[in-house]
Structures are given as structure tokens and as C-alpha cells.
Amino acid sequence: MSTEPAARPVLHQELTLSYDYAIGEVAGTFFDGLRDGKILASTCSASDLAYLPPRAYCERSFEPCDGWTEAGEEGVIEASTVVVRGFEGKRPTPVAIAFVRLDGVDSAIANYVDGVDCSDIDAAVASIAPGTRVRVAFAEEREGRITDFSFELLDA
Amino acid sequence: MTDPVGVISTFQTRFGSRHPDVTYVEQAQQAAVGALHAAGMRPDDIDAVVYCMAPTFFMGVSDADQWAVDHVFAAGKPFFRIHTGGSTGGSAVHAALGLLRSRMFRSVLVVGAERLNETADAQEILNLTFDAFYERDMPLSTNTSVALMASRYLQRHGLTERDLARAPVRQRRSALKNPYAHLKGEITVDDVLESPLIAHPLKLYDVCPRSSGSAAMILGDAETIDAFQPRPAFINGFSSVSDTYWLGDRLSDEADLDLGEMEIAAVTARECFGRAGITDPFGEIQVAELYDPYSLIGYLQLEQLGFCAGGEAPRLDAEGTWDLHGGGVAVNPSGGTLCTNPIAITGLVRAIEAANQVMGTAGELQATGVRNTIATAIGGMAQFTNVTLFGDDHRDTQEPTR
Amino acid sequence: MPRSRPTVHVLGVALADAAQRRDDVRLEELAYRTARAALDDAGVRRDELDNITLGASDELDGRPISSMLLAAPSGGYLKDEIRVTNSGATALGLAVARHLSGDFGLGLVASWCKPSKTDVPTVMNSRWEPFFHRDLGLDAAVAEGLFAQAVSAAHDLQEDELHQRTHDAMRRARENPRAVERPVASPEEIASSGHVSTPVRSRHVAEQSDGAACLVLASDAWMAGHPEHRAIATIPGVGWSTDSYRLDRERLGATASATAAWAAALRMAGGDAPVDVVELETPTIFHEAALTRVLPIGVARVSPSGGTFAQNPLTAAGLVGVVEAVLQVSGRAGPVQVPDVRRAVAHSSNGFAHQGSVVTVVDAAERLAA
């Protein structure tokens, strides 16, 4: 048989599957906190680490996370990007996204960064460079999802 | 001379329809922590991690293993996921065996989790395993395919639906002693016959549930065994065989291996027993943990694996031959897959139960005088089968025979 | 008595004809033709095989348990066949272990991917866990943007270098008859291409393509029992490692899975032979810029095949790199042949933002006799 590409029709199918993901106790506590306008990090007394997103078990001490602490309202950008193309997220592009380590927490959590003027990409990138401090902004209407909050630049 | 590989520890969670208190990865973590604690090991004692996950379409996160990396303490370690459908757990144990025998690693954690009930579209997903071009538009499913096999089996051997019904009766009773089993209880043959018809001759109680849960097993080489486990279960035999995908090819007179009789199980077992030097399975093997998502499938395997003649397995069940203390071979004392089926790890649970029997840690399910046990796993509409043989001492692997 | 350092032998290899779209073949036809070609290259028959290792992704293949359909076309009919999902290169890692275990003699490793038939962005979005990341709409491009930013900071990468590297990779790919035929963009064109997810520009991204790769492997014992067969290469070492799922600066900038996999593979291979060629799996040019800095590649030529810019069949891309490495050490790389290659190393990455890595050491077969 020849391997010459031939013009063959394709069989088009679209699959839509729906899911109800169990949130569980740990993430459930976090999302309850969001509704109350708090960002709750799980803590491990053995390692003295605070985790966001929260987790049940401390991978470093090999002990269960045994407490909760409220994360600071501000934090520092660990990693960031301005998404320009082909993005099907909750917000239209271009849009800024960052992983932020909130004060008092030892790991970073992702969200959109508000107040970034993306009309000038270079300026936008510079404004969210790693090391930049941001604050948490809660949505007026909260539904217990990650989109209940975002980050905003301190000088915005 | 083959290097010894042994099971150091095992762990499984209680299985059920849902575990709303934890996320998928937290569930996987429970198993990893459980197996490490049972072994007296810490994450640093593990050289490599093998993750079990079958189709992710049920739980809804593609490459769920990558999400679980931190939770199963695999960050910074060699890690991969095995996926051979329903036979995944058995394949993962075989992968771990290869990693250890290669001398590249000394200890391997096999771990996985499954949750099947977070999508309402499970039947649609199962249908997707059939071919998009030729088969997907028909109501083909595992249920209907096994029903076809069952009709043929009953007719050929002069058996009735009543004969098949003994399997769920025996195994749900056995599962009463298994704290981890999903379905359990005292039911009668009539209860099975009166349960809702799925696809003639299969009734609801002839069919496994869809289960959620997690499981883990730690395996090690001779040095790790010396350090952590005075009474390991050695892997003395294994085999795995894949058949063609096309059902029609396995149902014709031209078929190399007939699907209706599940002849693939015989080929697979011969190779495993050949490696392990087993010549009389009924006389030499004390416990069989068989992957039996349908009442028919356990009986077919007993016959194909050489524990009895064709058509005899249901009759011997009536005589108590497959009971835990029935004097024959204890078949699925855990309740088997008929009582608990978390697809991605069902094969691993079979291996765990078989290893526990050798290690003497099977609790109320413990058989007496155990020297050899087997675990089987089946995937992809009886397309993939594997067998693993656990023994109480290390025996050199023989050349396999087909 | 210590046994001599065992190795795994490569008897034959094959690559599918790479193209942006292969609508002329079904997935299993692509797999079959590649497996068939590898067996022919090795001069062995399918019935001589005792094991098959597959590297394939259900989600990218668009079907649950894709190995149901693809095991037999890959030579797996009535064989011991096993599959890993992470990548074709990961499958090779497992296959090497199995051939060293004493339990297997002659096997085939196969991987494929047809991104053209799949909604890849949707699959990538569904790879994120649903609670903290997917709900924001994150996808692979976001992960690559974060990775690119972190490695740029860690290594002080300048845009000019990235544009030049991209241009050079495209030029090497242009020379490779096994690459997808594409025009070469100038550094200026690359510099003016729009951002996908900063700092990654569209021309910094290795375009996806349909493809497949296969290798036929044999153990020491099988080779000893079959003196009529000659290896075209050996694989004395393979290593793999996985990083955290977290995407903080430390994890992103460290490319730790690559260095860990490299160290494991080279330690296993032993000896201090210089590496003449490295084939890198680089979803973006930032990967190449970072990996050439963190991996001790010495004077090795980097991705003479054009690497991922020659072809990028996602799951199979790393195994394509292994085949290119085998072609280099066996003097069969054609127009992209580097002279006198004794040792080539193939790197593969998998998961978001370079989470996992596999490194395979490939030596020229004559090394055994030396």
C-alpha cells in the first residue's frame, strides 16, 4: 500500500462528558473559607509548613496536615504569564495569570491578576514580574470556587 | 538463577460507591501512606513508583497520575503510569517485577486510586472503547458481550442460570469477613435469579458494582526484603497475554483463542505455571484471587486455569470445593471482583489479597497451609489477561512454555 | 562473582512518515506500518518477539484503553504486551528494564500520536485538576509560559538567543528527510511573531504533527543465542524522573527531572565516553535553551535532526528522538548525520511545564567489541 497522503474524509464526533467532582474535606474547607472571604492554608506542625492549595498530608514530614491558618492578604508573584492566544479560560485574552505565594504560606497558588493593562504586552509582563507584590481581591458574589478571588497589583 | 522479588507490604481502603470526604489524589495518598506505614518505611526508602490508572474518562482528569505525583511521594523519583484497562493492577505488579529484576531499583511502590461514579456518563464511556468507525453506533457493551458468552457456556455444558448464581451467593457471604469489600451479605440463589435482568442470562447480581477506593503494594529485592519483611510473598511466576481487539475474530471457528470459553486464560496460566514449576494447580495452589466481574468469568477461569474440567466449576461450587475452608481451593475469599470493582486497581487488589494469604496477613479471610496463591487480572473485554503466582519461598523461574 | 555490565541491544528502528495531518491512515494503520518497518529493519519476525511495550495516551488517541485497538497492530497479538501512558520514551525505559530482568529476550517498543485528529487544547485543559487550576481555564500554553519565564530568569535568557535558536532548529529540521516539510523562519520573523503566553511567541513553539516510532530490542542472552543477528546500537543506560505537580518558581526554574534522569542514565551506562549528540524534546525553544545549560552535554551537537521542530507527535516525540539517536550512532542519519558518533543521548519530557523526563543513552554497537 502506498503511503502517499490521499484526500480521505474524516468521521467527525464530539464527546461531551459531565462530572461531579467530590471536593472532599480539605478542599471543601478551603472553598467554604472563600465564601467567607478567607483564604485558608493547611498546616503541618511537624514540618511547620503551610500549604496552598491545601492538602491532607505533608509530603516532606510524612505526617498529616493537622491545622489551618488564614493566608495573608498580600503575597509575592512566583511565576506569571500574559496569555494572548487560544485560551478558553474564564476571561477573554489577553489576560494575566500568576502563581502567588501569599504571606505566611510556603507554596504558591494560581489565579488571574486584575488591573494589568494588557494593551502593551511588554509593560504588562514587566508589571507582573516574579517578585512583584500583589493583594487578594474577593469577588462580590462568591460561590465557593477558585474564581471567587483574584490578585491585583498593589498600585492598581 | 533469578533474583528474588517479594511483596513487603500491602494496603487497601474500604471500597464503596463514593468517597466524598476526599479528592481523588487524597484517596491515592491514603493507600501510599498505608503501605509505607505497614512496611515500616518512609518515602525515602522507595526507589521508584508505578502508578495504576485505567481510563481517566470516568474520574475526569486526564493524566490523573501526574496530578497524584506529590500525593504518592513520587516527586523527584522515577515514576510512570501503567494502563492496560481492567488488567492494569496486574500489569503494574509485573512492571514492578521487571524494574526490580533489572537491578535498576531495590524497592518499588505500586499505587493507584479509582473513582467511577463522578460522571453520569459511564455507559457512554464504556461504549467509547468500541471502534468509532465500525462499532460505536451499536449497543455493544461489556454486559451484552458477556451475556453472549454466558448463553453459549450454559448451553454447551447443560447448565442453567441457577448454576451461575452460586458464585455471587458464595462470594457475597465471604465478603462479610472482608472489611474492605463493597458489596457483601447473605443472599440466596433465588435472590440472584430474581434480581433485575441485565442482558439474558445475566442478572444484576451476576454483575460487579462500580467501586471507588485506593490500594498500594510495596515490592523489594532481596536486600529490601532482609531489611523490612521477614515473611514476604515471593513472585515465583507471572504471565501476560494480549489478544486481538476485534470481537468477531475471537468468536469464529478460525479464532486462535475462543472468546466464549476464554481460552486466553489457559494460555496465560500455562505460561505462568511453567515459569513457577506448577504442574497440578488444584493440588499445589491453595488460594485463587480471580478477576471475576461477572459470575461466569470466575468459573471460566477455574476451568481454563486447570483447576477443574470444562463445565465443572459451578457443580463443584455446589459441593463447597471453592469455599475458604472447603478442603479444595479457596476461590476469592475476599469476595472477589463480583463484590468490589475499582477498575484501575482491581488487579492490584487481587494481587494484594493473594500476597496477604502467603504473608499470613489476610485476617478473617486467611486460609490455612498456604504455600502458593495466584491473582489474575483481565482487561479490555477479555482481551488482556495476566496471572501472578505468589509463593512462601523464592523459587528460580523456569523457562515459560506456551 | 560480579556479572559483567549488562546492556540492551537495538536490532532495528522505524519512524512513520511525519506530516502535519495523516488523514490517509487510521491510527492503527500508522502503528502497524511503523512496527512492520521496525521488524523488517531488525530482520526478525513478529512471532520471535516475546514482549511489547507501548507508550500511548488515551486522551490524545481519543478513546478509552486505546491499546485495545493498537496492541495487535503494534505486534502484540498473543504476546506479553504492557503499556505506559506518560510517553513513548517512558515505555522504552520500562522495556529496557524488562530486557535486563532475565525474563525477556526480544521485544518491540512502540509509540504514536495523531494530534491532528484531537482537540488538543481541550485535552490539555482536562489534564489540570478541577478545583484550583482548571476552573480558571488553564491549559498547556499557560504552563509553558510560566516555565519559559522561570527558566529565562534562572539562566538570564535573552530574546535574540531564543530567536536564533529557533531559526537554527528549523534549519536543521529542513535538512532532515524525516521531518515535516516546513519553511524556515528568519530570526526577524520569529521575533515579530505574536505571543501565545508570554514570554513564549508562536514561532517558539514546536508545531504538533502526526507520527509514530518503533524500536526492536534484544537482551544479552537473546543476542548470545542468535549470533546471526547484529545489533545496530546498544542502550547501556536509561533514567527517568518526575517533578512536583506544583508550578512555583523553584520547581519551574530547576528543570530537576531532566538533570535527575540524565544523572541516572549516565551512571547506569557507566564509563566516561563523551556524548557526541543529544536529541532534546523541546515543546518550546525555551526548553532547548534551558536544557543545554543544565545538562552536562559537553561538546555534543544539539538535536541535529531538528528535534521537536522536525516533528512533534506529542506522546511519541521523545521516542522519535531515541530513533534519531540510534540512526546517528549507526551512521544512518542521512543528510543530518554527524561524523563519528559513538554515543548519543536522547532526552524526552512529559507532563505540564517539563514535569517528567526520560534520558536514554545510545552507544554505537561496535563499542561492545572494543
CATH number where B30 lies? 3.40.47.10
B56 domain-assigned: yes
Phi, psi dihedral angles at C57 (to 5 degrees): -110, 120
Q: Residue C1's pLDDT is what? A: 35
A76, part of any domain? yes
Interatomic CA distance for residues B263 and B108, integer angstroms = 32
The rounded distance, in Å, linking the Cα atoms of C291 and C318 is: 14
**A86 to chain C, closest Cα gap in Å:** 7
Check CB contact of A150 with chain C, cutoff 8 Å.
no
DSSP secondary structure of B304-363: HTTSS-TTTHHHHHHTTTTSTTSSS-EE-TT-HHHH---HHHHHHHHHHHHHHHHHT--G
DSSP strand E in B68-212: where? 79-82, 107-114, 197-199, 202-203
Q: Could you list the residue range(s) of the whole structural domain that residue A96 is in?
A: 24-153
Q: Is the pLDDT of residue B78 over 60?
A: yes
Residues of chain C with pLDDT under 50: 1-3, 367-370
| Residue A27 sits at the chain C interface (C-beta within 8 Å) | yes
Compute the nearest-CA separation of A153 from chain B (Å). Answer: 30
Closest listed residue to residue A48, CA positions, set A27, A65, A71, A30 = A65
SS3 B382: coil
Query: How far out from the chain centre does Cα C49 lie?
Result: 23
> Is A99 close to C248, i.e. CB distance below 8 A?
yes
Q: C244 is written with which cell numbers?
A: 512536583
Q: Which residues of B touch A63 (CB under 8 A)?
A: none
Residue B112 lies in a domain: yes
CA–CA distance, A19 with C313 (Å, rounded to integer): 29
A119 part of contact set with chain B, CB < 8 Å: no
Q: Please count the structural domains in chain B.
A: 1
pLDDT digits (tens, 9 = 90+) for B263-302: 999 999 999 999 999 999 999 999 999 999 999 999 999 9
pLDDT score at C3: 43
CATH code, residues C8-117+208-368: 3.40.47.10
C residues 20-79 near B, CB within 8 Å?
26, 52, 57-59, 62-65, 67-69, 71-72, 76-79
How high is the pLDDT of residue A17? 75
Domain range list for chain C: 8-117+208-368
What three-state secondary structure class fits C27? helix
Q: Is residue A7 part of a domain?
A: no
Q: Is A10 on the interface with C (CB under 8 A)?
A: yes
DSSP state of C25: S
Q: What is the nearest CA distance from B118 to chain A, expressed in angstroms?
A: 5
- Sorted by sequence, the CB contacts under 8 Å of residue B84 that are 6+ apart come out as B54, B91, B379, B380, B384, C65, C67, C81, C82, C83
Q: Which pLDDT tens digit goes with each residue over B305-338?
A: 999 999 999 999 999 999 999 999 999 999 999 9
Specify the amino acid at residue C115: P
Q: Is C354 on the interface with A (CB under 8 A)?
A: no
Residue A40 pairs with which residues in a beta bridge? A70
Instruction: List the pLDDT tens digit at each of the 156 positions of chain A.
Output: 445 555 677 777 777 778 888 889 999 999 999 999 999 999 999 999 999 999 888 888 889 999 999 999 999 999 999 999 877 777 888 999 999 999 999 999 999 999 999 999 999 999 999 999 999 999 999 999 999 999 999 975
Q: Does C154 touch chain B (CB under 8 A)?
A: no
ipTM over 0.95 threshold: yes
SS3 sequence, B179-222? CCCCCCCCCCHHHHHHCCEEECCEEHHHECCCCEEEEEEEEECH
Do residue B63 and residue C83 have CB atoms under 8 angstroms apart? no
pLDDT for the residue numbered B373: 98
Å between C169 CA and nearest CA of chain A: 23
Residue A11 within any structural domain of the chain? no
Q: Assess contact for C70 and C60: CB atoms under 8 A.
A: no
Query: Which chains have 3 or more CB–CB distances shorter than 8 Å to chain A?
Result: B, C
The answer on pLDDT for B41 being more than 90 is yes
Q: What pLDDT sits at residue B380?
A: 87
Q: For position B134, what pLDDT does the model report? A: 65
What is the tens place of the pLDDT at every residue in B191-226? 999 999 988 999 999 999 999 999 999 999 999 999
For the beta carbon of residue A117, count every other beta carbon within 10 angstroms. 13
Q: Determine whether the interchain pair B380/C67 forms a contact, defined as Cβ–Cβ distance below 8 Å.
A: yes
CA atoms of C164 and C147, how far apart (whole Å): 20
With an 8 Å Cβ cutoff, is A7 touching chain C?
A: yes
What is the spatial distance between Cα B335 and Cα A1, in angstroms, rounded to a whole number?
A: 52
Name the residue range of residue B47's domain. Answer: 6-120+210-220
Chain B contact present for A23, CB below 8 A: yes
Within the 290-349 window of chain C, which residues sit less than 8 Å (CB to CB) from chain B?
A: none
Residue type, C337: Q
Determine the distance from the C-alpha atom of residue B201 to the mean position of all C-alpha atoms in its chain, rounded to a whole number.
Answer: 24
pLDDT at res. C367: 46
Q: What is the dihedral of CA B357, B361, B364, B367, to 10 degrees?
A: 30
Average pLDDT, chain B: 94
Is residue B280 domain-resident? no
Read off the DSSP letter of residue C101. Answer: T
For residue B177, report the phi and psi dihedrals to the nearest 5 degrees.
-90, 0
B355's CB contacts (< 8 A; 6+ apart) are B7, B10, B217, B233, B373, B375, B390
Q: How many domains does chain A have?
A: 1
**Dihedral sign, CA of B289, B294, B298, B301?**
negative
In-domain check, residue B182: no
Q: Do C102 and B3 touch (CB under 8 A)?
A: yes
Q: For residues C370 and C368, what is the distance between their CA atoms, to the nearest angstrom?
A: 5
Predicted confidence band at B254 (pLDDT cuts at 50, 70, 90)? confident
Any domain includes A3: no
pLDDT digits (tens, 9 = 90+) for B158-167: 999 999 999 9
Q: Do A82 and C145 touch (CB under 8 A)?
A: yes
Contact flag A53-C132 (C-beta cutoff 8 Å): yes
What is the structure's pLDDT at C369? 43
Instruction: Report in angstroms the alpha-carbon separations of B241 from A18, B94, B244, B271, B272.
Output: 34, 12, 10, 9, 11
Please report how many Cα atoms fall inside a 13 Å half-sphere around the Cα of residue C47, on the Cβ side: 1
Give the integer Cα–Cα distance in Å for B10 and C65. Answer: 26
Interface check for C31 against chain A (CB to CB < 8 A): the answer is no
Q: Partners of C357 in the beta sheet?
A: C241, C349
Instruction: With respect to residue B172, please indicate whether it lies within any of the assigned structural domains.
Output: no
